[in-house]
């Protein structure tokens, strides 16, 4: 029997979306538009999803300022900035869709900044010479998240209808389950994903849920590095759980370090690239012994080192390059600026906005400047800010498929788009690996999250339509078994009474990952990182659970997340060890060149159990899988059919000018 896309037998045949950030909400919205009812799970209230923190903006080549920008150039610059590791058809799809996405958000009521003429305003961001970034002050993520949240709330009031159009009593199109922690997927005997097991973080009840498909939109894993610009919930636990169940994890080693954050004991608060987009300049005093306040140091005694080395892009070189330069300036050249509070030179540089009129700063950057003032206690309108690089974003994530269209983009509505290698399991947003290659350009993530959601929704609807049997007809025993498995795991955690402190282990993990697995990587050091991860995995089996309570037990939850963070840390570190080249955010001084011959390929990691308590990673070049009911062979080849890979040369020129002069693969360019 073919499963109808309608809800027969008075059963709401739901699909499941885990994650209510931009990617999750967009996926839900598109599913509802296609008539598919959804269970939406989120660890935190949807409106507190990490997307709310995004500051600077969202890219779209609308070309309002008449600079000659276009989606084609956006595609070129994205793959060039990502050092050619991204599959190009999805990037093309994203760049083509971007203007429409920004107009859609505008219509939804996002209060984007506007020009005096009333047009959408666009600012500059890294890796481009164009004004391509739409923004709502410096709180763009919040405005976008709230707008999409409103759309989804609307569906929370709409009745689910059966195949005859009659309302299913009590069943609304969206059922929102906040404060639930995803524990794992449920698979039927054929390995198809038919639901999830999750834990209610108030009552601690563990329950299995049916879903004709599941989409993980659970964000990034920044907390693996201890302190980062990410929210504390960004442990990557859901991706790790799916990886442990057989989902491929791709390009895990590609971790973005943002050049400008405020060093802090608890977290590293971001000062968005938009500060440089609006004219902020990075510098250090020419004299490293200079103890004057930044604002007292005269112009001629300042070293604007990014502007000097990259005259075209200046302070807006892509993040991988800017972070490396800042790091080198502080660690190798010992040129970090004097901090009057600690009375010594720290690993910090100045980010200076003081020459920009205060009125402009208030209008465009107030959100981030308030953060600086609050946490540093200095007025950034009057004083250059002190900043340093911080772990920020994961280009790597769950491997997802795509179906290429005749014009080189994506076939909208193909059930392959955003599908993982586990049939019925999809992924969208920062949790997927698809759009940014080896380095993400600023303001491309809000875009890729929303675009991935726009693709995932129709893809899942099509997948569901083609199902031979609904998850809602799978025997209950399959769900009982999965629920029992997770309940037993949780009971084991509650019974842990060893000497190790899980938070201390996490601190150790974060310190070693941050120090040895970020901006500069060395094989001998990475070997030690991997050894440490193994030791931490051993010790994590001997923790004492901090809380055994039966209500809101975040201590026991943390023990689970720690175990998953260790698994992801191994994927990141082993991927970094294996990739003997330098590409985008992955930089090995011993292998300074990009090596397209050997490494223009996706790192594909499969989970394996290691010895004792340890995990192990198996890197594969190809893998047979069933996607949307069809047998496919996944390979690590990167689709570079639209823009021929070439060396990145930000010192001498911009990708934009290269594109404009036809220096790139003009012969292969599709019409856009």
Ligand X SMILES: Cc1cc2nc3c(=O)[nH]c(=O)nc-3n(C[C@H](O)[C@H](O)[C@H](O)COP(=O)(O)OP(=O)(O)OC[C@H]3O[C@@H](n4cnc5c(N)ncnc54)[C@H](O)[C@@H]3O)c2cc1C
* Catalytic residue set: 319
What are the tokens at 384?
């250059």
Choices 40-48, 282-290, 471-479, 550-558; region in contact with ligand X by CB under 6 A: 40-48
Of residues 569-588, those binding ligand X (CB under 6 A): none
Chain center to CA of 359 = 33
Closer residue to ligand X (CB): 430 or 636: 430
Q: How many residues touch ligand X (CB under 6 A)?
A: 47
Q: Can you tell me which of 62, 369, 376, 449 binds ligand X, judged by CB under 6 A?
A: 449
Q: Can you tell me which of 13, 30, 50, 472 binds ligand X, judged by CB under 6 A?
A: 50
Q: Which residues contact 642 (CB under 8 A, 6 or more apart)?
A: 75, 79, 88, 89, 92, 408, 665, 668, 669, 670
- Containing 141, the helix (H) or strand (E) segment is helix 140-155
Q: Can you tell me which of 444, 582, 603, 664 binds ligand X, judged by CB under 6 A?
A: 444
Of residues 230-259, those binding ligand X (CB under 6 A): 230, 233, 237-238
Closer residue to ligand X (CB): 96 or 581: 96
Closer residue to ligand X (CB): 54 or 656: 54
Q: Can you tell me which of 28, 43, 284, 606 binds ligand X, judged by CB under 6 A?
A: 43
Query: Contact letters (x/-) for ligand X, 135-174, by CB under 6 A?
Result: -----xx---------------------------------
Q: How far is CA 19 from CA 11, 57, 135, 239, 256, in A?
A: 24, 21, 24, 11, 22
Is residue 42 at the binding interface for ligand X, with CB under 6 A as the rule?
A: yes
The minimum distance between CB 267 and ligand X, in angstroms, equals 9
The minimum distance between CB 508 and ligand X, in angstroms, equals 23
* Cα separation of the two ends of the chain: 42
Is residue 270 at the binding interface for ligand X, with CB under 6 A as the rule?
A: yes
Instruction: Give, as one character, the DSSP assignment of residue 583.
Output: B
The minimum distance between CB 132 and ligand X, in angstroms, equals 11
Q: How far is CA 422 from CA 238, 419, 459, in A?
A: 15, 8, 15
Output b/e per residue, 302-337; b: 16+ Cβ within 10 A: bbbbbbeebebbbbbbbbbbbbbbbbebbeeeebbb
Among the listed residues 182, 208, 176, 185, the one whose alpha carbon sits nearest the alpha carbon of residue 25 = 176
* Residue the block writes with tokens 């991988």: 320
Whether 134 and 94 have beta carbons less than 8 Å apart is answered as no
Torsion of CA 533, 537, 540, 541, to 10 degrees: -170
Chain center to CA of 467 = 30
Output b/e per residue, 502-529; b: 16+ Cβ within 10 A: beebbeebbebbbebbbbbbbeebbeeb
The minimum distance between CB 578 and ligand X, in angstroms, equals 25
The minimum distance between CB 622 and ligand X, in angstroms, equals 27
Is residue 53 at the binding interface for ligand X, with CB under 6 A as the rule?
A: yes
Choices 48-56, 148-156, 468-476, 601-609; region in contact with ligand X by CB under 6 A: 48-56
* Residue the block writes with tokens 């994650």: 19
Number of residue whose CB is nearest ligand X: 21
Is residue 181 at the binding interface for ligand X, with CB under 6 A as the rule?
A: yes
Closer residue to ligand X (CB): 443 or 577: 443
* Residue the block writes with tokens 């969208």: 428
Choices 17-25, 155-163, 457-465, 503-511; region in contact with ligand X by CB under 6 A: 17-25
Among the listed residues 273, 260, 322, the one whose alpha carbon sits nearest the alpha carbon of residue 124 = 273
Is residue 445 at the binding interface for ligand X, with CB under 6 A as the rule?
A: yes
Chain center to CA of 236 = 10
The minimum distance between CB 202 and ligand X, in angstroms, equals 14
Closer residue to ligand X (CB): 294 or 502: 502
What are the tokens at 320?
């991988």
Closer residue to ligand X (CB): 139 or 532: 139
Instruction: Give, as one character, the DSSP assignment of residue 497.
Output: B
Is residue 56 at the binding interface for ligand X, with CB under 6 A as the rule?
A: yes
Q: Which residues contact 359 (CB under 8 A, 6 or more apart)?
A: none
The minimum distance between CB 229 and ligand X, in angstroms, equals 4
Is residue 318 at the binding interface for ligand X, with CB under 6 A as the rule?
A: no
Among the listed residues 304, 308, 321, the one whose alpha carbon sits nearest the alpha carbon of residue 83 = 321
Q: Can you tell me which of 3, 12, 21, 539 binds ligand X, judged by CB under 6 A?
A: 21
The minimum distance between CB 480 and ligand X, in angstroms, equals 21
Is residue 18 at the binding interface for ligand X, with CB under 6 A as the rule?
A: yes
HSE toward the beta carbon, residue 568, CA cutoff 13 A? 37
* Residue the block writes with tokens 């003032």: 373
Instruction: Give, as one character, the DSSP assignment of residue 441.
Output: P
Choices 312-320, 437-445, 488-496, 590-598; region in contact with ligand X by CB under 6 A: 437-445
The minimum distance between CB 356 and ligand X, in angstroms, equals 19
Is residue 218 at the binding interface for ligand X, with CB under 6 A as the rule?
A: yes
Residues lying near ligand X in the complex (CB under 6 A): 18-24, 41-44, 46, 49-51, 53-58, 140-141, 180-182, 217-220, 229-230, 233, 237-238, 270, 272, 392-393, 429-431, 443-446, 449
């Amino acid at each position: 029997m073919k499963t109808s896309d309608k809800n027969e037998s008075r059963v709401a045949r739901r699909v499941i979306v885990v994650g209510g950030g931009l990617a999750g909400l967009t996926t839900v919205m598109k599913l509802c538009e296609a008539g598919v009812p959804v269970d939406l799970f989120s660890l935190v209230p949807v409106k507190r999803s990490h997307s709310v923190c995004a500051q600077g903006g969202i890219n779209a080549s609308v070309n309002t300022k008449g600079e000659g920008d276009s989606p084609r150039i956006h595609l070129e610059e994205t793959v060039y900035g990502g050092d050619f590791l991204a599959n190009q058809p999805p990037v093309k799809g994203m760049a083509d869709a971007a203007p429409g996405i920004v107009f859609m958000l505008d219509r939804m009521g996002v209060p984007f900044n506007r020009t005096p003429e009333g047009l959408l305003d666009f600012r500059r961001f890294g890796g481009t010479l164009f004004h391509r970034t739409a923004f709502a002050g410096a709180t763009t993520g919040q405005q976008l998240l709230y707008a999409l949240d409103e759309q989804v709330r609307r569906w929370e009031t709409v009745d689910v209808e059966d195949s005859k159009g009659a309302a299913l009593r009590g069943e609304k199109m969206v059922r929102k389950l906040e404060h639930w922690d995803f524990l794992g997927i449920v698979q039927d005997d054929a390995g198809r994903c038919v639901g999830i097991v999750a834990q209610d973080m108030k009552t601690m009840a563990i329950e299995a849920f049916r879903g004709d498909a599941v989409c993980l939109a659970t964000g990034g894993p920044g907390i693996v590095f201890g302190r980062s610009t990410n929210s504390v919930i960004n442990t990557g636990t859901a991706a790790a759980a799916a990886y442990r169940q057989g989902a491929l994890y791709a390009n895990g080693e590609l971790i973005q370090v943002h050049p400008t954050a405020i060093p802090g004991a608890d977290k590293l608060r971001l000062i968005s690239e938009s500060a440089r987009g609006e004219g902020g300049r990075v510098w250090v005093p020419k004299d490293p012994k200079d103890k004057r306040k930044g604002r007292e140091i005269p112009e001629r005694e300042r070293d604007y080192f990014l502007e000097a080395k990259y005259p075209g892009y200046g302070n807006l070189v892509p993040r991988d390059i800017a972070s490396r330069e800042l790091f080198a300036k502080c660690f190798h050249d010992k040129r970090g600026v004097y901090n009057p509070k600690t009375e010594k030179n720290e690993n910090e540089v100045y980010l200076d906005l003081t020459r920009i009129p205060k009125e402009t700063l208030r209008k465009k950057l107030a959100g981030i400047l308030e953060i600086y003032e609050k946490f540093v206690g200095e007025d950034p309108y009057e004083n250059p800010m002190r900043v340093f690089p911080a772990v920020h974003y994961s280009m790597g994530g769950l491997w997802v498929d795509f179906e290429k269209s005749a014009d080189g983009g994506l076939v909208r509505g193909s059930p392959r788009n955003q599908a993982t290698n586990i049939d019925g399991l999809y992924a969208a947003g920062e949790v997927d690996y698809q759009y940014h290659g080896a380095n993400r350009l600023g303001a491309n993530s809000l875009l890729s999250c929303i675009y991935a959601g726009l693709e995932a929704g129709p893809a899942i609807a099509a997948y569901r339509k083609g199902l031979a049997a609904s998850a809602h007809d799978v025997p209950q025993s399959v769900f009982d078994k999965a629920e029992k498995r997770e309940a037993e795991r949780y009971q084991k955690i509650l019974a842990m009474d060893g000497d190790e402190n899980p938070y201390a282990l996490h601190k150790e993990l974060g310190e070693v990952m941050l120090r040895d697995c970020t901006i500069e990587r060395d094989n001998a050091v990475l070997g030690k990182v991997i050894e440490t991860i193994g030791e931490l995995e051993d010790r994590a089996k001997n923790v004492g659970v901090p809380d055994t309570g039966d209500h809101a037990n975040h201590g026991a939850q943390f023990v689970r997340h720690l175990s998953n963070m260790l698994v992801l840390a191994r994927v990141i570190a082993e991927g970094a060890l294996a990739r003997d080249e330098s590409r985008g955010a992955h930089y090995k001084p011993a292998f300074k060149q990009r090596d397209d011959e050997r490494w223009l390929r996706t790192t594909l990691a499969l989970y394996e159990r290691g010895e004792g308590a340890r995990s192990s990673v198996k890197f594969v070049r190809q893998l047979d899988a069933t996607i949307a009911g069809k047998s496919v062979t996944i390979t690590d080849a990167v689709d570079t059919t639209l823009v021929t890979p070439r060396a990145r040369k930000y010192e001498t020129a911009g990708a934009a000018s290269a594109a404009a002069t036809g220096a790139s693969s003009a012969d292969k360019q599709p019409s856009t």
